[in-house]
Amino acid sequence: MKELFPKQHVMGFGFSLLLTIVALSVVTLDMSYNIAFTILLVTALAQATVQLVLFMHIGESEDKKTLYTSILYAVFVGVITIIGSLLTMIWGYQ
Amino acid sequence: MKIDSSLPLEYSTEENRLKIFGFWIFLGAEIMLFATLFTVYFVLANRTGNGPTGSEIFELTPVLFETFLLLTSSFTIGLGIHAMRLGNKKAMMTFFITTLVLGLGFLGIEIFEFITYVHEGATITTSAFLSALMTLLGTHGAHVTFGLFWGIAILIQVAKRGLNAQTTNKAFIFSLYWHFLDVVWIFIFSFVYLKGLIS
Amino acid sequence: MSMEEIFHPMQEPMILMAAISIVVGAIVVVAGLTYFKKWGYFYKNWLSTVDHKKIGIMYIAVALLMLFRGGVDALLMRAQTAVPNNGLLDAQHYNEIFTTHGLVMILFMAMPFVIGLMNIVIPLQIGARDVAFPRLNAISFWLFAAGCGLLNLSFIVGGSPDAGWTAYFPLASTEFSPTVGNNYYSLALQLSGLGTLMTGVNFITTIIKMRAPGMKLMKMPMFTWSILITNVIIVFAFPVLTVALALMMLDRQFGTQFFTMANGGMDMLWANLFWVWGHPEVYIVILPAFGIFSEIIATFARKNLYGYKSMVMSMVVISLLSFLVWAHHFYTMGHGVMVNGVFSITTMAIAVPTGVKMFNWLLTMRHGKISFTTPMLYALGFIPIFTIGGVTGVMLAMASADYQYHNTMFLVAHFHYVLIPGTVFGVLAGYHFWWPKMFGFRLNEKLGKLGFWLIAISFNVTFFPLFILGLDGYARRMYTYSESTGYGPLNMLSFIGALGLAAGFLVIVYNIFYSWKNMPRNEKADVWDGRSLEWATHSPVPEYNFAVVPTVTQLDEFWFAKKEGRDITAGKFEKIHMPNNSAAPFWMSGFFFLAAFFAVFSAWIPAIISLLGVFGFMIARSFEKDHGRYISVEEIMETEKRLRGDK
């Protein structure tokens, strides 16, 4: 039975629960918007990394370099799209 | 078909490796799909027109349940793949079924949440904010729904055909998809709900 | 919607004539297939094929057909504006025609032409037997064909989209575009866009994972590099279009408030999303042309491509920059100085890597023994004409100056000066270059060159006057103008040029028939004294591409092996694994087509039933046991003997 629950996965699950609780603190505790937003950003990225590395095993195949490049490229373009659109539609416009 | 026995079964043939690689590339496209939906949401988040704002309609408790269910399902499907690599078909199927049940629970709460919104007079046509919110949540929910059917199809195949190069490959790719949906949910949880509740 | 409304467009005599000619054409094709008893052949060998070469040929056939359709649209536009106060077309018809001209030319001509060439050439250039996912490749094609069919159906049934190919809101909303035209827009583009996205995934996987042994990334031919980067852009840009089109559909058909003028909607958000996809899209159709020109210039200058590494680097930089410039399409929206400044700088920055490529091509030709074949003529014509397009692009990139140029004919002239020498010359060059590889005979050189000169000269006659008209303040998309504006003579000149372009197109098509009848068959494998692996196998290519997969040690291995007298295709035959044909992609896309067609008219129940058909095919595919088939060593030996014996 024990072999069905490898340490890596149990740890990953523990991390993700912990990160969720940390993220929740932005609602339960009183803090400034900037700090809250930073906490959300850090916990969300950490969650994503936990999933990618510990659960999805992105690093296990022979193509790990290409896979990391592709995911990072997607994140880069995604962030550019989000920030750029906010810039053109809101921050730089109103 | 050449089978390389030094690798897990789902990587064992050239075709399998191509499929896993191709699916990762597809996930890159999915990241962009959701990034665009987030773009639309962020741009429109404060444009509520005559409708309610986020902090007026978001409720933390159901969202926490959704998050917990989806995080756990991501954990169980990971265990399912681990069991599959050990060749333990029964444990693998149990974990997969657990995953799908948790996914179904998530979907149930999400549908309940939508019904509540509509009862409060917050429909997809009320304001730009609600259009963007419901499209983002709906797209994620539609992915989960699609995943449920996909998962069932794979379970049937594993039950009938056992763990072979094809079925393990399909199950592994499905697990990538499921973990990815969890990642997307984390971003929705953080930047839609929690951020909406504090601003 | 009543039947009368649905068939309303047919009351227009010109549309009725077009509709009749389509019906007559379809009857001729059906009758021809029946008379020659080719139905079985057609179904088995084309509709159900998963062979990348045949899929590529089908893409190119559709592209040529659409070049004709988009070309007729263009001729009508130029004819309408040739003289002041012309009454050939009314405003509505003119709106529809410039909308479909843009859509057809970009999405249903340039895209399939590029994708067709990559389908045919890429697996051959990297020494692979097929693409990574042959069945998915067939689905890509048939989804594209379904989208293409749907858009072309619009002008007979229900009315064409008429809000410009950019379909800006609020003009494209139901308030200002009440017909189903823009529903066709969102659904037809959605279908073909999905097909393109799958192509992107397929070709990245193919190029990364299936190269011949020894072919490291930096030993890949330049065309392969350009296609890899193109597909990276496709995979990360097309999801944006998918979302934008879905939101358009929701707004038009489900009453959401994304791009509305009330309830918080934001009309410019559409323009923003459209160009987040739209600008990378420009590079999706341009980069493959850069790759084609690199191959052709190196081949016909008989020299190694100059600056290989800088060529690759500049394309990588272009791919990143292509995602950083989109707001230059709407400088006049009224952003602050900072936004326009940022996007001005990123836009001008793209000129740098493009310039690097220009100089590399010129330096490749320096001291080369250039042979002036048809493909080479296109490449040579591209360089000066594209430079005019590029330089006017830098003029447009300056935000403050753009307030003067915006939405004038100057802009129209600019992007035609980029897209025609870039994309159209590129794909035509590739088409002439690889034609013998596809069919085993050459296209006639005399006719090919005649076509080139007609197109190159007429192109400048058509579009150069538009620069001047634009600077004089002639706005784009005006269906007519008064005589007192003085726009008449230059517009007439432009119309004459358009007639020349049409003549050039006719020569190119006539060349197919002429060469098919008159050119010698069984052309040798290496027609042009080529450099990359596609020239190492027979023309036309056997279904398994290479009897023995070549091993590569350097860039242009085939060229150097030729010089050293080595045969890189020699070796022992082994049985070859090939995928099975399947008609499922065709029928599945048929259901997709039906679903989209019903959705255009908001007939949701039949649309959902059709979608269930699509899911049915997906489930069936999931449960299917398909391990492909093997070609035996005897069969390979027989094929090779037949193909070699004729040489």
SS3 track for C449-468: HHHHHHHHHHHHHHHHHHHH
pLDDT of residue C2: 66
CA–CA dist C316, C318 (Å, integer) = 5
Asked whether the CA dihedral C419, C423, C424, C425 is positive or negative, the reply is positive
Asked if residue B144 lies in contact with residue B181, where contact means CB atoms within 8 angstroms, the answer is: yes
DSSP character for C455? H
CATH 3.30.40.230 fits B9-198, yes or no: no
Nearest to A33 among B60, B79, B198 (CB): B198
Q: Which is more confidently placed, C193 or C156? A: C193
Distance between first and last Cα of chain B: 58
pLDDT above 70: percentage of residues in chain C: 98
ipTM: 0.95
CA–CA dist C500, C498 (Å, integer) = 5
User: What is the distance of C-alpha B175 from the center of its chain?
Assistant: 10
pLDDT band at A30 (very low <50, low <70, confident <90, very high): confident
CA–CA dist C447, C454 (Å, integer) = 10
Could you tell me if B11 lies within 8 Å of chain A, comparing CB atoms?
Answer: yes
CA–CA dist C353, C311 (Å, integer) = 8
Rg (CA), chain C: 25
What does the angle CA C308 – CA C281 – CA C122 come to, to the nearest 5 degrees?
A: 45
- Take residue C36 and report the two structure tokens written for it: 């020659």
Give me the mean pLDDT over the C231-245 stretch: 96
Chain B from 82 to 141: CB within 8 A of any A CB:
82-83, 86, 88, 91
CA–CA dist C477, C484 (Å, integer) = 19
CA–CA dist B15, C135 (Å, integer) = 13
Look at B82 and A9 and tell me if their CB atoms are within 8 Å: yes
B52 dihedral zone (left: phi>0; alpha: psi -120 to 50; beta)? beta
Look at C240 and B32 and tell me if their CB atoms are within 8 Å: yes
pLDDT of residue C110: 96
Look at A80 and C323 and tell me if their CB atoms are within 8 Å: yes
Could you tell me if A29 lies within 8 Å of chain C, comparing CB atoms?
Answer: no
CA–CA dist B14, C132 (Å, integer) = 10
Q: Report the candidate in B105, B96, B69, B97 with the shortest Cα–Cα distance to residue B182.
A: B69
CA–CA dist C353, C385 (Å, integer) = 18
pLDDT band at C268 (very low <50, low <70, confident <90, very high): very high
* pTM of the full structure: 0.95
Look at A4 and B27 and tell me if their CB atoms are within 8 Å: no
Distance between first and last Cα of chain C: 62
Residue pLDDT, tens place only, C278-327 = 999 999 999 999 999 999 999 999 999 999 999 999 999 999 999 999 99
pLDDT of residue C232: 96
Residue B59's φ and ψ, nearest 5 degrees, are: -125, 130
Which residue from B minimizes the CA distance to C274?
B36
Residue C475's φ and ψ, nearest 5 degrees, are: -75, 150
Give me the mean pLDDT over the C435-458 stretch: 95
Statement: residue C575 has pLDDT above 70: yes
CA–CA dist B140, C463 (Å, integer) = 47
CA–CA dist C337, C343 (Å, integer) = 10
Asked if residue C148 lies in contact with residue C195, where contact means CB atoms within 8 angstroms, the answer is: no
The mean predicted confidence, pLDDT, of chain B is: 93
Asked if residue B36 lies in contact with residue A82, where contact means CB atoms within 8 angstroms, the answer is: no
SS3 readout for C591-638: HHHHHHHHHHCCCHHHHHHHHHHHHHHHHHHHHCCCCCEEECHHHHHH
Q: Is C602 exposed, middle or buried (0-12, 13-18, 19+ CB in 10 A)?
A: middle
Asked whether the CA dihedral C534, C536, C541, C545 is positive or negative, the reply is negative
Statement: residue A21 has pLDDT above 50: yes
All residues of chain C having their beta carbon less than 8 Å from the beta carbon of residue A84 are: 276, 324, 326-327
CA–CA dist B132, B116 (Å, integer) = 17
Statement: residue C645 has pLDDT above 80: no
How far is C292 from chain B, CA to nearest CA, in Å? 25
pLDDT of residue B6: 73
Residue pLDDT, tens place only, B60-81 = 999 999 999 999 999 999 999 9
How far is A59 from chain B, CA to nearest CA, in Å? 12
Asked if residue C501 lies in contact with residue C84, where contact means CB atoms within 8 angstroms, the answer is: no
pLDDT of residue B5: 67
Q: What are the residues of chain B with a beta carbon less than 8 Å away from any beta carbon of chain C?
A: 1, 17-19, 21-22, 25-26, 28-30, 32-33, 36-37, 39-40, 43-44, 47-51, 124-132, 135, 149-150, 153-154, 156-157, 166, 170
The domain locations on chain B are: 9-198
Question: How many CB atoms neighbour CB C286 within 10 A?
Answer: 23
Could you tell me if B44 lies within 8 Å of chain A, comparing CB atoms?
Answer: no
Q: Is C231 exposed, middle or buried (0-12, 13-18, 19+ CB in 10 A)?
A: buried
Statement: residue C19 has pLDDT above 80: no
C578: helix, coil or strand?
strand
Asked if residue B172 lies in contact with residue B10, where contact means CB atoms within 8 angstroms, the answer is: yes
Give me the mean pLDDT over the C436-456 stretch: 95
CA–CA dist C93, B169 (Å, integer) = 53
How far is A40 from chain B, CA to nearest CA, in Å? 6
DSSP character for C580? P
Residue environment code for A40-79, b if the CB has 16+ CB neighbours within 10 A, otherwise e: beebbebbbebbbebbbbbeebebeebbeebbebbbebbe
pLDDT of residue A94: 62
pLDDT band at C21 (very low <50, low <70, confident <90, very high): confident
CA–CA dist B96, B76 (Å, integer) = 7
Expressed in percent and rounded to 5, the helix, strand and coil fractions of chain C are 70, 0, 30
CA–CA dist C259, C265 (Å, integer) = 5
For helices C374-397 and C409-419, angle between their N-to-C axes, nearest 10 degrees: 140
Q: Report the candidate in C556, C628, C558, C439 with the shortest Cα–Cα distance to residue C54.
A: C439
The mean predicted confidence, pLDDT, of chain C is: 92
pLDDT of residue C470: 95
- Cα torsion B177, C279, C463, C292 to 10°: value is -60
| Alpha helical stretches, state H, C36-51 | 39-42
Statement: residue C17 has pLDDT above 80: no
DSSP character for C217? G
pLDDT of residue C33: 81
Nearest to C264 among B17, B49, B166 (CB): B49
User: What is the distance of C-alpha C552 from the center of its chain?
Assistant: 31
Look at C276 and B36 and tell me if their CB atoms are within 8 Å: yes
* β-pair partners for C408: C475
DSSP character for C475? B
User: What is the distance of C-alpha C396 from the center of its chain?
Assistant: 25
pLDDT band at C3 (very low <50, low <70, confident <90, very high): low
pLDDT above 90: percentage of residues in chain A: 52
CA–CA dist C343, C340 (Å, integer) = 5
pLDDT of residue B3: 64
All residues of chain B having their beta carbon less than 8 Å from the beta carbon of residue C235 are: 25-26, 28-29, 32
Ranges of residues in chain B with a pLDDT under 50 are none
Look at A93 and C339 and tell me if their CB atoms are within 8 Å: yes
pLDDT band at A57 (very low <50, low <70, confident <90, very high): confident
pLDDT of residue C647: 42
How far is A32 from chain B, CA to nearest CA, in Å? 9
Look at B36 and A81 and tell me if their CB atoms are within 8 Å: yes
What is the H or E stretch that residue C515 is in?
helix C488-518
Asked if residue B51 lies in contact with residue B83, where contact means CB atoms within 8 angstroms, the answer is: no
DSSP character for C302? T
Identify the residue whose tokens are 């694994």.
C577
Statement: residue A43 has pLDDT above 80: yes
Residue pLDDT, tens place only, C71-111 = 999 999 999 999 999 988 899 999 999 999 999 999 999 99
pLDDT of residue B11: 87
